[in-house]
Structures are given as C-alpha cells and as structure tokens.
Structure 1
Amino acid sequence: MSNPISYPVFRTTDPAVALRVARELVEVGDQQDVRVSVDVELRTVREVLRIREALPDSWFRKEDAEDWARDPSDPTGLHVGVHASELSDDPDFLSGHLPLWASMQYRPVGSIEEEFTASVGSNIGEIWWSGLIWPDAPDSNIHGEANNARVSLLFHCRTTGLDERADDHTVLVHVLRNSHDRESEKRHASWLAQQVGQSVIGPRQE
C-alpha cells in the first residue's frame, strides 16, 4: 500500500524557477511511467472564466460535502466534474458554486506544466508528478522506491492540503513513510534534494 510522506526542499517567489527545480527533481527518478497532474482553486467568476479559456482541456469541480449531501443527484455535474467546453459561463450560476477547482490529471510529462504555471496567477494551485521510481543510493544505504515516489510544486501555498495561502511557491519531494525511523525518511528526502543542489528546508508533511 502506498503510504508517502513529503518534505519541502525548495521555496521561491518565482514560479518559473520553482518549476525548473521541480523538473530537475523529477529527472532524478526513472520516468518511464511518470504522469503529471495539475489542480487550481478558483474563488471568483473572473478567474473561472479566465482559466476555462487558458486551459480548455481542464475539468471543473466543486468540493462541498454538505452540498453533495443536500442533493446527491448532482444536477450541475460539478461534484463529478464538468469539462471546460461544457461549463456554463453564466456569472450568476458560477458565483453560486464558488470556489471551483480546475484540474487536468495524468497527462504526459511536458504537456501541461509550462501552460499551467503561466496561467495559475495568484490562485492556490499544484503540479504533481506521479509514477516515478527513486533510484538506489547504496553509499547512503538508501533503497529504490516506486509506490511513494512523487514530486509536488505548490503555488501560493506551503502545505500539501492546499489550505494555507503564501506569497511564495514550494517544491516537495515524496518518499516512503517510516513511522519507526523518521530519520530514514528525512535522509532519503535529503539525498534526493542534494542531487539537484537543494536540501530539506522544513518539517515533514502528511
């Protein structure tokens, strides 16, 4: 069972630099099966319409458990997800369902990262690369890892829950959780960061 833990390894106010460092980390691993996904929170109608135009293959959804409980039939389709081409542009409709999230998932590496980074604006967002395989590092007593190997880039946020706004962007590396030996987690994250000239800069995140 996949059971990852993440460590922040880089932080900057420049989204393009954050993307570069995140890509360098991705390249440390085996990328044969890697895929990239993106997600962004939109709190105004203007931003929903802007992202719908900028990312025409994105899907929009509403994350509201209370709304789902009130009407599980999902008449708007926003709990399951609505493709950008099918999303209403009626401001009254959209304003009643904010915030909305826009996402594109499990795309080929290199297909959406730059476009998303240029479009995220001041919104909280994330790019994550999954399907990696971290290599062995025998000299450091580190074993290769696949199920938990991942890299995340958080825009305007420092936490993986995307619930704490910040003025900068954070790159995190994900490794196998080890509840019996947290130092081994941190050692693995540190080794990966060192491969691209970085280091662990904060505590582990669930």
Structure 2
Amino acid sequence: MSNSYARPILRTADLSEGLRIVQSLLGIADLTDLEVDFDARISSPHSLSGVLALLPDAEWWAEGERDSASDRGDDPLDSLPIWLRRWAGIPETVESFLKAVGYSPASVRWDFNAWPDAPEVGLWVGGTRGAFVTLCAHARDLDLEEPAADYTVFVHVKQVEAERAPWLAAQVGLRVIGDLVMAPY
C-alpha cells in the first residue's frame, strides 16, 4: 500500500467556507464507499468529553513517553494530552466533531472511490489510493503539528498524478497554495 500525496488549496478562518469547498470537491468525486476518518490531538478535558460523546468508540493513545491507551482500558482524562482517531465514520458527524474539538488540532479525511477524468491534464479516473479530501482544523499540516488559528483544505492525489491537484483546485474556483506533501496515512 502506498501513501497519497496532498496539496493545500484553501486556508480560511471560516469553517463553513472550508466545508463548502469540501462539499464542492465531493460533488465531482465518485463517492462509492465514502468513509470519513477523524483525528485530533486533544489536551483539554472539555474537548475530550465533547469528542468522546460524539465518537465513543474512538481509539486514543497518550502523547510522549507514556503508554496509556484505549486498548489498555486506561482513562483518557488521566492521560491528556492524547491522540484520538476514529476510522470509517459517517459524514453526518463532521461538523459536530469540528465544533467539539474546540481549538485542538484536528483533521477530517473523506475517503472515496475516485476522482473524475481530468483530460485537460492528460489524466483519467484517479483511483482509491489518491482519492481523498482533508480539512485540517487549527493546524497547517496533515500531521497536526504546526498550530494555526484557521482551517486548511487539502486535495489528495497519487504522486504520479500530481497535476491533478491544481486541476481539482480549479474545478472549485481555487488554486494550489502549497507544495505536494506525502500524507501520513
């Protein structure tokens, strides 16, 4: 299995604008087998309670040298700060999740079947390993390590189809605003 590559196409302080761009991108994608993955770095008890109320079966593990984790039956409140992940969620929980995390760095990744043909750049349907959209909240990067006060939308493509990223940005009236980077998963 190979990683996808991602390029940022929007930075905004307005969550609704970020979600609107995501929805526009999803509107041109083949959404067969659509799933949503949630990640967050949580250090606030308030954010933790809100996220766990929404995603009670999320996995988590302590940051740093500590070895506490959900699979050990540990209490996440006693383990803050933590990384939290929920794979294969449903799209209807996205906005609630982004509100629940508060100012914690978080990301939502929409995983679907394929991007459409892009004949203008010589590409046909783009398959599953490069068909994602990610919205990062309060982080500028996909690893959630560079704090930010805004939201960033990334389009994911296969590395050999890098020219699809600017094409996708243009389909929603934008342009790429950063470099192509390997996605963490």
What TM-score, normalized by structure 1, do the two folds share? 0.78
Aligned residues of 2:157 and 2:164 also touching (Cα < 8 A) = yes
Amino acid at match of 1:20: R
Q: Distance in 2 between matches of 1:81 and 1:149?
A: 33
Inter-partner Cα distance in structure 2 for 1:80 and 1:65:
17
2:23 equivalent to 1:32: no
Alignment of 1:59-78 (within 5 A): 59-64=58-63, 66-68=65-67, 78=69
Q: Is residue 192 from structure 1 mapped to residue 174 from structure 2 by the alignment?
A: no
How far 1:203 moved relative to its partner? 1.2
Q: CA deviation at 1:17?
A: 1.4
The answer to whether 1:94 aligns with 2:77 is yes
Q: Secondary structure of 1:67's partner?
A: coil
**Alignment-derived partner of residue 135 in structure 1:** 116
Determine the structure 2 residue equivalent to 1:50: 50
Gapped regions of structure 2 (runs ≥ 5): none
1:80-91 to 2 correspondences below 5 Å: 80=71, 88=75
Q: Which runs of 5 or more residues in structure 1 are unaligned? A: 69-75, 179-183
Report how many residues are paired: 181
Once the 2 structures are TM-superposed, how far is the Cα of residue 81 of structure 1 from its aligned partner?
Answer: 7.3
Query: What secondary structure is seen at the aligned counterpart in 1 of 2:46?
Result: helix
Greater radius of gyration (CA): 1
SS in 2 for 1:112: helix
Identity %: 30
Question: Offset of 1:191 from its aligned partner?
Answer: 0.5
What RMSD in Å do the two structures reach over aligned CA positions? 2.2
1:149 maps to which of 121, 131, 137: 131
Runs of 4+ off more than 4 Å? none
Structure 1 position 135, deviation (Å): 1.2
User: Which residue in 1 is equivalent to 2:95?
Assistant: 114
SS at 1:62 equivalent: strand
